[in-house]
Structure 1
Amino acid sequence: MSEQTTPRTTDDVLAGVDLSGRTALVTGATTGLGFETARALAAAGAHVVMTARTAEKGADAVARLRERVPEASVEAGVVELGSLASVRAFTDELSGRIDELHLLVANAGIMMPPLGRTEEGFELQFGTNHLGHFLLVSRLMPALLAGAPSRVVVLSSGGHQASGVDLEDPNYEHRPYAKMEAYGQSKTANVLFALELDRRYADRGVHAWSVHPGMVRTDLGRNFTKDDYAEMAGRAKSAGTSLPPLYEVEQGASTSVWAATAPELDDQGGAYLADCAVAPAAAHATDPEVAAKLWSLSEELVGEAFPTS
């Protein structure tokens, strides 16, 4: 994390930025970081597609955003990232209406629930936080290529430090489930995904970054217990650090919109970002060989390959 005492806000980052003519997609955009990211991009002139888990939540989010930004060009679509069928239905519908996509913020996620499974049987955090977004980006890659230069921003977390990706058993089928370790695995997968995505598509105008938003006041931690906080604090102490201060959503979402728009990042694709700056990530999250292996495994698990042309 940077040493700045007053973190930047989304409006600070986008002051003077004109996104007119650009189309952005933000997943998990009904509350928290996703809603603020969508609001900020819409306020800067982008046409924003917000995703929600139900049509009712999407309509409510659009109405609330238009209250904040009356001139906003915004719509909502329904996608459940824990269902590959839902991801396919959403991307098929969207691809039938838009030819170009310029910004994709893979923001949606879940944090430290009890052991659960997605519709396809993947461990819930790995399946939702990583595989759902992996398939979504894959199926929207033609639109991202058509809209190049375009950007993909993948929300990770400092929690990626807790665990690498177990390529032999990512879905906890043969090892005991530990929710913090599983969360760390999914967030490491986010960092590795952005790294490999940029490596594969940067020369065709699609760049990617992973983002740590900081500890933010949202409902993402609704599954946390006092013991979970104690474990987090203990891990931080063991690493010689302490838990960071809580950010408001306007501060936490600032790095996402910076990643989506900052021209100074053009030659730093694949980087891990925090506090609107390039930041160090764990060694297990930055190994290009592991990133390539995770990519191949992910294509196998979702049953689809990224487009090559």
Structure 2
Amino acid sequence: MTGDTWTAEDIPDQSGRVAVVTGANSGNGFETARALAGRGALVVLAVRDLVKGAAAADAIRAEYPGAELALQEADLASLDSVREAAAAIADRFERIDLLVNNAGVFHTPRRQTSDGFEIRFGTNHLGHFAWTGLLLDRLLPVAGSRVVTVSSNAHRYRARIDFERFGVAQGRSQSAAYGRSKLANLLFTHELQRRLAAAGAETIALAAHPGWAETEILRHFPFIGLMRPLIRPLQHRAAAGALATLRAATDPAAVGGEFYGPDGLWEMRGHPVLVGSSDRSRDPGLQRQTWEASEEVTGISFEV
């Protein structure tokens, strides 16, 4: 490996490993799936839209004809879909080496998930919380297995969780709602790692953020067509944004509880390195409270 200039070339051989990536049909999720498949992993593309998922799989196979890929329909905005998809994966695969919680929504029309949660919190955090809990037994016996959850630097901004209205709309700001969901991703990662370590599990939990990657996540943002020429110099390609996730998922030196992101100005772009997070994200009491509230509203309990 190359220290602080870590690239996709530093990904170790992934032959014989099974990786499950949510939101793998586009953006950072697609690039993560593509890189892992290119290194020999069997990659399950967990996607909301099977047509787009199939197109993504075709694109990966065009580049890597021998790629081992599987498609699984999974809508993180529906706990019923999460349960069905997790059961299908558990039936098909006896082991999972990498669980990459990547799918997410940002600036989208105000609405609720099918379970009544605010769309960003319900998808980005609660959907992945339930998903991980339902699949964890496939990771726990596997040496070197990892759960990598994709957060964002938005976890620092106006992100405060109201436990009296946990999971439902809290104010009108979509940016604050997104930041709240990304804070929950980090709180979840830290609490999961604490529980895994206490149980002496083989699995570790880490987090990553892509910086400001050029993906479809801003497609609903007002005036995005006019803004793109102005913001593009601040962004990097989705393939570069995925490197933080890939390092967290595959770097042999990575340790549970670590957070990876770009090393450039304001962590918007650059090579993946260890980065810090907000004081709130590192609060053990808040981590535990978020975990317990998430168990309560999803009805999902973990084995650890």
Which amino acid is the alignment partner of residue 168 of structure 1? Answer: E
Alignment of 1:152-191 (within 5 A): 152-162=147-157, 163-173=159-169, 175-191=170-186
Report if aligned partners of 1:161, 1:184 keep a CA contact under 8 Å in 2.
yes
Aligned to 1:233: none
Report if aligned partners of 1:141, 1:307 keep a CA contact under 8 Å in 2.
yes
Larger deviation: 116-125 or 45-54? 45-54
Aligned to 1:209: 206
Aligned to 1:239: none
SS at match of 1:223: coil
**In structure 2, how many angstroms separate the alpha carbons of the residues matched to 1:67 and 1:147?**
31
Aligned to 2:67: 72
By how many angstroms is 1:171 displaced?
3.3
Q: Which consecutive unaligned segments of at least 5 residues does structure 1 have?
A: 231-241
- 2:258 counterpart of 1:260: no
User: Which of 270, 284, 287 does residue 288 from structure 1 map onto?
Assistant: 284
Q: TM-score, normalised by structure 2?
A: 0.89
By how many angstroms is 1:226 displaced?
5.1
Q: Which consecutive unaligned segments of at least 5 residues does structure 2 have?
A: 263-271
**In structure 2, how many angstroms separate the alpha carbons of the residues matched to 1:302 and 1:137?**
12
User: Which of 257, 277, 296 does residue 270 from structure 1 map onto?
Assistant: 257
- Dislocated runs of 4+, deviation >4 Å: none
**In structure 1, how many angstroms separate the alpha carbons of the residues matched to 2:28 and 2:6?**
14
User: Which of 243, 248, 252 does residue 237 from structure 2 map onto?
Assistant: 248
By how many angstroms is 1:19 displaced?
0.8
By how many angstroms is 1:112 displaced?
2.3
- 2:114 counterpart of 1:125: no
Report if aligned partners of 2:155, 2:183 keep a CA contact under 8 Å in 1.
yes
Which amino acid is the alignment partner of residue 208 of structure 2? Answer: V
SS at match of 2:140: helix
Which amino acid is the alignment partner of residue 212 of structure 1? Answer: H
SS at match of 2:149: strand
Q: TM-score, normalised by structure 1?
A: 0.87
Report if aligned partners of 1:114, 1:179 keep a CA contact under 8 Å in 2.
no
**In structure 2, how many angstroms separate the alpha carbons of the residues matched to 1:170 and 1:274?**
28
SS at match of 1:146: coil
SS at match of 1:265: coil
User: Which of 16, 22, 25 does residue 20 from structure 2 map onto?
Assistant: 25
SS at match of 1:120: coil
Give the alignment's Cα RMSD to 1 decimal.
2.1
